[in-house]
């Protein structure tokens, strides 16, 4: 056998590379996948409450996903939301813009109408018929469902047979919490064979802890031993009132037991970060929910529920009964009223 010349060696290397190239051509010639660009717009004028924190966390989860990049604009006033959104559209070239919160609805709805080719994702907003833009999807949690479980638990635990409900701004979303809670209390009344009085008050604000404190104190003074607060930052005032008076409170949106471990019975939560992540990833894969309301409750999976039980106050038997109720809601055995 003749020894290979330098030219021959190069020919062998070239042939090997060429053969390898043929076998990997699909990969080598495949178009590089463009990153899916997610923009977040939030405002801090009203403060970071548990609800808005979860929206920000949802976009943070997306930033960890392969092929997704995110850009967040956290503004110090509602007036700056419009400009931040325009920046995400024209400078960042966002594929979808995520937002939520009572105080951003008007700005973001107007932006969606003014930019019909862009896609928007709102969280927990109540649109009247015909008012939701065609390019905006709206994730809505059936909060009446876990509120039913919370009402049942409160009804079984109350010793004074007086329970309070404290809302923030009087909206359809908050009303859903109230009606589910009231229906759960009625179930407990029937099981216990007693009458339970339900007090209700609205602070008119999601951002005033002093008003929340005053509202809750009035209900505790009227005999309530448990208050369910659905009032954003205002609700932290109710938690303080419960802690000071030795009564109980039900948290909302996230596990709020850390605020007052001896006062928060449990919290009614919406798993907003997971819902945002799941929905945006479906958009990335080609799904389009524009103009739709995405309704999430027990039937759709782990998107709502009760967490952070005060174990020394809520017995195991009651926790088990609550789990049965949650399963019955999920499979349609129990239909929870929304209003």
Q: Residues 55-102: pLDDT tens digits?
A: 999 999 999 999 999 999 988 888 888 899 999 999 999 999 999 877
Please give the pLDDT value at position 47.
Answer: 61
Q: Which pLDDT value is given to residue 113?
A: 95
- Check residue 52 and give its pLDDT: 83
What is residue 43's predicted lDDT score, i.e. its pLDDT? Answer: 82
Question: CATH number of the domain at 144-270+302-330, out of 3.30.1330.20, 3.90.470.20, 3.40.50.300, 3.40.50.2300?
Answer: 3.40.50.2300
Q: What is the pLDDT of residues 252-306, one digit of tens each?
A: 999 999 999 999 999 999 999 999 999 999 999 999 999 999 999 999 999 999 9
Domains 36-142+273-299 and 144-270+302-330 share a fold: yes
Stretch 125-131: mean pLDDT, rounded? 87
Question: Which residues, including other chains, have CB under 8 Å from residue 220's CB and lie 6 or more apart?
Answer: 164, 227, 241, 242, 245, 247
Residue bearing the bigger pLDDT, 79 or 159:
159
> What local confidence, expressed as pLDDT, does residue 51 receive?
83
At 271, list the tokens: 């798993």
In this structure, which CATH number among 3.40.50.2300, 3.40.190.10, 2.60.120.260, 2.102.10.10 belongs to the domain 36-142+273-299?
3.40.50.2300
Q: Which residue has the tokens 């809601």?
A: 329
Separation CA 26–CA 225 (nearest Å)? 68
* Sheet containing 248-253, strands listed edge to edge, beginning at the edge strand earlier in sequence: 197-202, 162-167, 226-230, 248-253, 264-270, 304-307
Rounded-to-integer distance, Cα 54 and Cα 6, Å: 65
More confident residue, 101 or 143: 143
Q: Residue 26: which pLDDT band, with cuts at 50, 70 and 90?
A: very low
Task: Express each pLDDT in 297-331 by its tens digit.
Answer: 999 999 999 999 999 999 999 999 999 999 999 99
pLDDT at res. 48: 64
Q: Where are the domains of the chain?
A: 36-142+273-299, 144-270+302-330
Q: Are 256 and 267 in contact (CB under 8 A)?
A: yes
pLDDT for position 286: 95
Residue 240 has pLDDT above 50, yes or no: yes
**Entry field: residues in the chain:** 339
Average confidence score pLDDT of the chain: 89
**d(Cα 200, Cα 238) in Å, to the nearest integer?**
13
Least confident of 30-34, 100-104, 224-228, 317-321: 30-34
pLDDT at 332: 97
At residue 104, the pLDDT reads 83
Residue with tokens 């929340």: 212
Reported as a single tens digit per residue, the pLDDT across 42-54 is 887 656 677 888 9
pTM (2 d.p.):
0.85
User: Other CB atoms closer than 10 Å to residue 308's CB: what's the count?
Assistant: 19
Of 181, 159, 143, nearest to 313 by C-alpha is 159
| Per-residue confidence (pLDDT) for residue 50, from 0 to 100 | 79
Confidence category of residue 241, pLDDT binned at 50, 70, 90: very high
């Amino acid at each position: 056998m003749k020894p290979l010349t330098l030219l021959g060696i190069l020919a062998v290397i070239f042939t090997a590379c060429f053969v390898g190239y043929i076998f990997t051509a699909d990969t080598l010639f495949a178009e590089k996948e463009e990153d899916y660009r997610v923009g977040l717009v939030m405002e801090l004028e009203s403060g970071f409450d548990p609800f808005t924190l979860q929206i920000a966390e949802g976009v943070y989860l997306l930033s960890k996903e392969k092929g997704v990049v995110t850009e967040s604009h956290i503004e110090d006033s509602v007036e700056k939301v419009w400009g931040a959104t325009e920046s995400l559209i024209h400078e960042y070239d966002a594929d979808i813009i995520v937002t939520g919160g009572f105080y951003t609805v008007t700005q973001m709805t107007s932006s969606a109408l003014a930019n019909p080719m862009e896609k928007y994702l709102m969280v927990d907003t109540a649109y009247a018929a015909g008012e939701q833009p065609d390019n905006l999807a709206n994730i809505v949690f059936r909060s009446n469902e876990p509120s039913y479980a919370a009402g049942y638990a409160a009804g079984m635990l109350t010793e004074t047979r007086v329970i309070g409900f404290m809302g923030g701004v009087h909206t359809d979303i908050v009303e859903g919490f109230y009606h589910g809670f009231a229906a759960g209390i009625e179930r407990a009344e029937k099981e216990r064979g007693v009458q339970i009085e339900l007090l209700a008050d609205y602070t008119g604000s999601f951002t005033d802890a002093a008003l929340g404190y005053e509202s809750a104190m009035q209900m505790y003074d009227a005999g309530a031993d448990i208050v369910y607060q659905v009032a954003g930052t205002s609700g932290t005032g109710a938690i303080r009132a419960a802690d000071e008076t030795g009564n109980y409170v039900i948290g909302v949106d996230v596990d709020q037991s850390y605020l007052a471990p001896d006062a928060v019975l449990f919290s009614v939560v919406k798993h907003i970060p997971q819902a945002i992540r799941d929905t945006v990833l479906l958009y990335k894969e080609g799904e389009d929910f524009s103009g739709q309301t995405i309704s999430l409750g027990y039937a759709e999976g782990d998107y709502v529920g009760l967490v952070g039980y005060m174990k020394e106050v809520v017995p195991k038997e009651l926790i088990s009964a609550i789990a049965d109720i949650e399963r019955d809601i999920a499979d349609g055995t129990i239909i929870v009223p929304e209003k």
